[in-house]
Structure 1
């Protein structure tokens, strides 16, 4: 469908220079980035989780800026019909489109080309993440800690999805806001449940944050409940945004992407500088997910050891217990930040090593060259394990990763035999439990574990 839409509330005007930056690269660069992210937003709810397939399915899709004295409009051509109701674009999707435009222009002009932000330092990256979130108005200084980040797979069973809604409901009853990767499945369920809990408590200023990045947005298009969307430049800054805004993290069942998130978080919490910093982490799912978390726990024990296992609590089939544990943990977080003078809205005290910030490009050479051995500190091993799972995600759903697999074959993952055996068992379980792709789709592995 074709339409023209105007922004409401933010980004009503653009300078001529901003429009020029977007259109000077009309056949690549900034425009193609905007087009692919915009198409993903418009494709919300389609059940498609393949970036390459999405771009090929809508080859005629186009989006351009109409610059007028009284403001701007987006001229949209050949958009997915699911984004419209009776010929009018759904309001939430319209807001998400302008959020994409806002973030892409801001990151290009104020982050990547800003000589005062050094992305080669840990402080510079953390500052960049802060500025992106602040520009998107996601940082609210007058709110007591209540932000719960929920991670989990976009491909989960109906029973697991219902459980995520129950957990969200009990969090909502306790006044908790929700932040997720903004896609379907375990990213949508907690938000959906929380809306009912908030409604019962007559909470009218609920926050449902969605944090995405260009490579993953096609597989995890922002769900309609998200009322604050931000697009980060890459997966590493997306993950840092999660752990900086979170007051607690809940992990539901998922696949390679969820394993990547878990390893990222545990690697940070294993850093010696974070030893005494309170950070509530709960793994949870219905009774049917007990074996899943047993496998995850076993993998963590085999690779990172008991110290890593001590960083989280596993609660099976008890949404009320999860919500109460989160509530108690956040009270501890609040007291700690108040005592140490840290902001409630952004966790400045959390130490994040450069190994967790430097963007990892999952080429075949980079995947083969990962240091997957125990002759290194546990937090650095976690960083490299995170990269391995990031490569699997790229090969599964990202346009660039899928094309690399088609051209050069499987990613090869090499390392210590014990670690490779544990990784092979875990990835195989994800495949057998259909956690790599949405239900009904045959999964063809993009990787080969060399044991």
Structure 2
């Protein structure tokens, strides 16, 4: 989408930002440096909300003259926008949802950088410390509601899906909303937007005025998947691993819609955790679902999981095709089991402390050729560890597909090479080829050039 107009504006915060210190303001206000550029990129993604492009670099090139500055005043701060996309404004005023999300970016970038990257450092942090960090970031964003209700359903799925698949996600969201359930997604378009849109209509019918549409993202992905306008709580986690942990800690059940490499990454992350022996008895309702036209997609996913991770992994989820009301009922009924378990074990309703997440699923993975080639994609290891490295393989593909740093890395160094057991790689290659042929790697209309190569021969 090309925007002809640019807007200059001075914007005040709206309920998403606490007071900043002089030190925080000076660091984020610098005209140069990685922190300011990160803030600028994430802010542009918010202002570009509703774009039909998943090319982060194209957006940055289109608005290369965009700038954002923090203006300190006695009563707090304002943001000065220079050459901002006009689509973020109506009659000279910024759309309220855009303004709220814009200051969520400021809150999360500042807080994360100051409290964790500088003050504590997480490179050598223990597993428990990382879990506490995820909790503190969500609490800082006012995500938690202390109540007796378990009602937050996480919806995963692709940003690049067919129209009939998108329409189905809305139907499922509508059925969830009619049952007083709230929605959490990755906050972007496609299967991340549809459930929120459906739930919003259902909440209106049920006269629910405080519906939650929680979007969880991270800096590397937000520019390619700008938040959809329905999101009313936006949280930018420091990296993909903490984003994934936030999903499973804050959510009470998960629905998976059709998607591509990113959705496969999420599935493998979830199954790897649920397959860990320490999580054997923890109830966590999981449903894979889509319209009847997507039945073959889930057959492929189910077959891949069975052949690579085994029947135990397949037992961790249900597949329900073209039946949105049953999906919602399964989720609603599952809340009773989750509530009973947490009461019995004195676990919080709003944060899944009892779920054990091994460090292999928590440590940030920055893909390069050496790290991707070294992934242990062989059967001679515990199944949850195989799932962890399979997750990293798909994470690398996501980075090469849409993340600005990953895309530029691939352009300079060529595609990642994925090595491992020949039989396993053959199954992986078939699944990836299906994603490509079904246009699940990029938005329709975009030519897809693979950022990976599955190497089935000897190294």
Q: TM-score, normalised by structure 2?
A: 0.96
Q: Is 2:156–2:263's contact at 8 Å kept on the other side of the alignment?
A: yes
Mapped partners of 2:62, 2:148: distance in 1? 43
| Corresponding position: 1:17 with 2:23 | yes
| Corresponding position: 1:276 with 2:281 | yes
- Helix, strand or coil at the partner of 2:221: coil
Mapped partners of 1:436, 1:100: distance in 2? 27
Measured after TM superposition, the shift of residue 55 of structure 1 is: 1.6
Task: Give the alignment's Cα RMSD to 1 decimal.
Answer: 1.2
Measured after TM superposition, the shift of residue 70 of structure 1 is: 2.1
Q: Is 1:46–1:82's contact at 8 Å kept on the other side of the alignment?
A: no
Measured after TM superposition, the shift of residue 119 of structure 1 is: 5.3
Give the gaps of 5 or more residues in structure 2: 1-6
- Once the two structures are superposed, the pairs formed by residues 44-443 of structure 1 within 5 Å of their partners are 44-115=49-120, 120-443=125-448
Mapped partners of 1:119, 1:294: distance in 2? 40
Mean alpha-carbon deviation: is it higher for 142-151 or for 157-166?
142-151
Mean alpha-carbon deviation: is it higher for 251-260 or for 26-35?
26-35
Give the gaps of 5 or more residues in structure 1: none
Cα separation, partners in 2 of 1:218 and 1:353, compared to 1, 3 Å: same
The one-character-per-residue Cα deviations of 1:282-304 (angstroms, maximum 9, x if unpaired) are 00000000000000001111111
Mapped partners of 1:116, 1:223: distance in 2? 32
Q: Is 1:50–1:396's contact at 8 Å kept on the other side of the alignment?
A: no
Mapped partners of 1:88, 1:212: distance in 2? 26
Q: Is 1:12–1:72's contact at 8 Å kept on the other side of the alignment?
A: no
Mapped partners of 1:402, 1:103: distance in 2? 24
Measured after TM superposition, the shift of residue 57 of structure 1 is: 1.9
Q: Is 1:282–1:312's contact at 8 Å kept on the other side of the alignment?
A: yes
The one-character-per-residue Cα deviations of 1:367-417 (angstroms, maximum 9, x if unpaired) are 111110011100000000000000000000001100111001111111101
Measured after TM superposition, the shift of residue 118 of structure 1 is: 7.8
The one-character-per-residue Cα deviations of 1:251-290 (angstroms, maximum 9, x if unpaired) are 0000000000000000000000000100000000000000
**Which of 35, 38, 61 lines up with 1:30 in the alignment?**
35
Mapped partners of 2:58, 2:431: distance in 1? 27
Q: Is 1:184–1:220's contact at 8 Å kept on the other side of the alignment?
A: yes
- Helix, strand or coil at the partner of 2:219: coil
Mean alpha-carbon deviation: is it higher for 50-59 or for 376-385?
50-59
Q: TM-score, normalised by structure 1?
A: 0.98
Partner of 2:4: none
Mapped partners of 1:241, 1:205: distance in 2? 21
